[in-house]
Chain A
Amino acid sequence: MNFNAIKVIYKFEMLRTWRTLMQSIASPVLSTSLYFIVFGSAIGGRIQEVDGVSYGAFIVPGLMMLTLLTQSISNASFGIFFPKFTGTIYEIMSAPISYFEILIGYVGAAATKSLIIGLITLATASLFVELHIAHPIWMLTFLVLTCVSFSLFGFIIGLWANDFEKLQVVPLLIITPLVFLGGTFYSISMLPPAWQTVTLFNPVVYLVSGFRWSFFEIADVNVYLSLFIVLAFLAICMGVVWWMFRTGYRLKS
């Protein structure tokens, strides 16, 4: 293992975060606050409680997931897309470093960043509502797994994208709808039965449900099923990355 290389890629990526500190940290804090003002106060005033949890608290796990997913994907996809775009990737490709090590460096940094942002979001949320976490270990497990698997997913998008439009299109046209329709701001049981079935094809439902269960012990699907889906998603992403690396997809002609 070329540990020095992993270390410098990781450090370099984290450095990029510090350079854009305001944007990296301030924007999730701001958007979380806005969500609370709009959803928590305006709508929460009418909905009040879901499954015995105040609406303000109820949306916290979903809101965190929304932040984690979008942040993981954008950090990781941009992290690898940019050197590809500017050509500076030549240096990494010509270094004595394996694809696996490149992956650890980039995905590790992206996951770390979104983990930090996730925790900041949680801290911000706790300023608005009273929170209590029933299963902290489960909570952290889902948190870390989500950061890692969606950073990996973002890495794939960054490798695949050969222009800025493609870089944006997946998060915008696929992830955002999936997250908003994935029970982020409501319980699946609030939907008509037909839609409940359709929703079960949305993987984000399992993520949000499992994560919410770790907070309040309320869930739309069994927590083990949630865990299984997250792990399956991680495995699929690993498989795709492995294939991309093996064929040198969009990296080597």
Chain B
Amino acid sequence: MSDIITIADLEKTYHSGHQALKTINLGIKNGEILALLGPNGAGKTTLISIICGLVNPSGGSVTVDGYDIIKDYRITRQLIGLVPQELTLGAFETVWDTVNLSRGLFGKKTDAAYLDQLLRDLSLHDKKYSEIRTLSGGMKRRVLIAKALSHEPKILFLDEPTAGVDVELRKDMWQIVNKLRASGVTIILTTHYIEEAEEIADRVGVIRAGELLLIEDKQRLMQKLGKKQMTIELRTAITQIPAALAEYDLELADSGEQLTYTYDTRSGQTGITRLLQDISQVGLTLKDLNTTQSSLEDIFVNLVHTE
């Protein structure tokens, strides 16, 4: 799949002197659902805001469908729909007026049939002529989504779409997202819940303190997650792993005095007991033993802790 968005060496330092993004490089594939995972203040909104034209980058570049977001802003913005993190909506205009305004702002002619269908898909149709201030929080979020989709964008940004959203709307939202993906729309969403990324995304990127720590297919990420390593220090060095221990895929290091065993904490059996028994069976003596989480696991534990 080709990239629809290419982010190269993107940096952002706010006037306050705070560096919100540090040299971000990222390619977003056409048609994928990418989840950007990161704690509060990681720089997720800043990244999205730069791509959408709300914040000036301090360095680097972004292209959308091959066009530069600054030089060719008319083309790139036309392709993008944005659902902001906050419920930023007017109060006195009707749902119908506001989606028409959105469509017009993006240079499209009015299309009542399309907008009617959009409101229907978002279960907003019976609120068509309601003033926005009379709607509930969940309904307002739907209105924001309708506004973002009013001009038929090819790329949709959802900035923390499930923050403060009830279960029903969340389910609806994922249904909408899947439907959009099926129609070829690229979707980038931010969240600080691993479960959410796991549920919906094709790929997951992790941002912390302005840095993209990793970007990985969800499947592979989930395999890596939960991996732990046990390091076994031997009293006497060996030159080669005994054949009886072959099934454990051990790594030999530190000039033969150290064995490393990788296991999955999420599987029912970690194999540790058996391994230790087998080690003494083949006549090796332990000097020390310790376990470490994979760096990935560290990241996620951290994510949870910063909550």
Q: Choose among A5, A94, A97 the residue that contacts B80 (Cβ–Cβ < 8 A).
A: A94
- Tell me which of B32-40, B86-94, B187-195, B275-283 binds A: B86-94
* A90 CB within 8 Å of chain B: yes
* A232 CB within 8 Å of chain B: no
Assess the A87–B77 pair: CB atoms within 8 A. Answer: no
A90-B82, A94-B82 known; A8 and B104 CB under 8 Å? yes
Q: Choose among A87, A92, A93, A253 the residue that contacts B14 (Cβ–Cβ < 8 A).
A: A253
Assess the A8–B15 pair: CB atoms within 8 A. Answer: no
A8-B100, A96-B77, A253-B15 known; A88 and B107 CB under 8 Å? no
Interface of A is mostly: helix
CA distance A16 to B90 in the complex (A): 11
Closest to A252 in B: B56
Closest to A83 in B: B90
CA distance A98 to B73 in the complex (A): 9
* B208 CB within 8 Å of chain A: no
- Mark each residue of chain B from 119 to 163: 1 if its CB lies under 8 Å from any CB of chain A, else 0: 000000000000000000000000000010000000000000000
Min CB distance B15 to A, Å, is: 6
Min CB distance B271 to A, Å, is: 52
Closest to B147 in A: A91
- Interface size (A, Cβ < 8 Å)? 25
CA distance A144 to B109 in the complex (A): 30
Chain A residues closer than 8 Å to B14, beta-carbon distance: 253
Assess the B73–A88 pair: CB atoms within 8 A. Answer: no
CA distance A93 to B82 in the complex (A): 11
Closest to A248 in B: B56
* A15 CB within 8 Å of chain B: yes
Chain B residues closer than 8 Å to A87, beta-carbon distance: 84, 86, 88
Assess the A96–B55 pair: CB atoms within 8 A. Answer: no
Assess the A4–B104 pair: CB atoms within 8 A. Answer: yes
Which residue numbers of B lie inside 8 Å of A, CB to CB? 14-15, 52-56, 73-78, 80, 82, 84, 86, 88-90, 92-93, 97, 100-102, 104-109, 147
Which residue numbers of A lie inside 8 Å of B, CB to CB? 2, 4-5, 7-9, 12, 15-16, 19, 86-88, 90-98, 248, 252-253
